[in-house]
Amino acid sequence: MSSGISKIMQEVKALKESEREELRRILNEQAAPKANPATVDAVRGAMVADGLVSHVATRRKDLSRFRGWQPVAIKGKPLSETIVEERR
């Protein structure tokens, strides 16, 4: 063992138990392999597993229903302005 490691080990032995636990946690985090960037499916699966969402909706394959969509015409000022005014 090198002299640097020997000095570190002496200092570690002098730590309180709670400080050693914290050091162990930090070292474990540093030693953990870095995860590859998550795919969308992996993130969605993790969210379901963690209970953040109950299910993940699947994408629609037939988009023809949405292609001809037109907004509803209303009289007067835009609805967004009305909403903003009512929130004030």
List, for residues 41-53, the tens digit of each pLDDT value. 888 888 999 999 9
pLDDT at residue number 37: 67
Contacts of 53 (CB under 8 A, 6+ apart): 44, 47
Residues 6 or more apart in contact with residue 38 via CB below 8 angstroms: 46
The predicted structure's pLDDT at residue 59: 79
How many structural domains is the chain composed of?
Answer: 1
Each residue's pLDDT tens digit, 3-59: 888 998 899 899 999 999 999 999 888 887 776 767 888 888 889 999 999 988 887
8-12, 65-69, 79-83, range with the lowest pLDDT: 65-69
Buried/exposed code over 40-49 (b: 16+ C-beta within 10 A; e: otherwise):
eeeebeeeee
Residue-range definition of the domain harbouring residue 39: 3-87
User: Is the pTM of the predicted complex or chain greater than 0.75?
Assistant: no
